[in-house]
Amino acid sequence: MFGDDYLKQICSATGNEAKMALALSLVKRYANEAGRRSQSVAENQDEFFALAAGVANRIFGEVPSNDFQKEHADTITARAKELAENHALCKILSGAGYNVSYSRYLIAGGSRGMFSNDFLTYIRTFNDPAHEHVREKMRSSILKIGSTILAPIDAMVTLGIFDRSGITLTKKTSIRLSTNMRLSQGSHLSNSYVDIGSSL
């Protein structure tokens, strides 16, 4: 079993790398859109970077960190929702969002038992209406130790990005996400998130 320090590090790295890859891909996308509208790409480059960073932060449930993100919150949210139409990208972002949330859970002192814990139980019940009461109980327990633990998942659910269909149960406590990330007692980082650019 991997140690908590390793899991914290690898899960956090997933989120950081995914946000960076997403933002850089969005900058290119926004520049291409401007070019098609005959707008000056060079003159608007700063705005593309600011918008892309805002969208990436919004998707991962980050609080607006500057005036641009606060003043353009509606535009940023609308742009983030556009990505919900890209199912391949949603699968990748869902895996990254899971990893960020799991890292925060561990950092906050969340338990990591041999076969299960509150976080894994919460995820397992996502597609099971019969266990909604269990999911809500686990959610409450998770938020008591850290109010932002579930922010990436919550944000992606709200935006229509979180890929619930990719969550399936296998024997014992294993969970598979369709990003090819195997999540059992933690997370093993795959390189699937580096395909964000080709998914846009």
pLDDT one-digit tens code per residue, 62-118: 999 899 999 999 999 999 999 999 999 999 999 899 989 988 998 899 987 766 789
- With bands split at pLDDT 50, 70 and 90, how would you rate the model's confidence at 190? very low
Please check the confidence at residue 166 and state whether its pLDDT lies above 60.
Answer: no
Bigger pLDDT: 10 vs 55: 55
What pLDDT sits at residue 38?
64
Whole-model pTM: value is: 0.78
Nearest in space to 94 (alpha carbons), one of 149, 23, 156, 26 = 156
> How many domains are contained in the chain?
1
Bigger pLDDT: 145 vs 41: 145
Q: Which amino acid is at 153?
A: I
What pLDDT sits at residue 178?
39
Beta carbons of 164 and 156 less than 8 angstroms apart: no
Please check the confidence at residue 34 and state whether its pLDDT lies above 60.
Answer: yes
Residue matched to tokens 């850089």:
24
Q: Is the dihedral of CA 148, 156, 20, 177 positive or negative?
A: positive
Residue matched to tokens 């999911």:
135
- With bands split at pLDDT 50, 70 and 90, how would you rate the model's confidence at 167? low
Bigger pLDDT: 164 vs 81: 81
Contacts of residue 47, defined as CB under 8 A and 6 or more positions apart, other chains included, come to: none
What pLDDT sits at residue 4?
67
| Residue percentage of the chain with pLDDT more than 90 | 50
Q: Rounded to whole angstroms, how far apart are CA atoms 106 and 186?
A: 9
| H helix runs in the chain, sequence order | 4-36, 45-59, 67-71, 73-82, 87-107, 118-124, 132-145, 151-159, 196-199
Overall average pLDDT of the 162-190 stretch: 46
Nearest in space to 83 (alpha carbons), one of 2, 181, 156 = 156
Q: 158 is in which domain, residue-wise?
A: 4-199
What pLDDT sits at residue 195?
45
Q: Which helix (H) or strand (E) holds 175?
A: strand 175-176
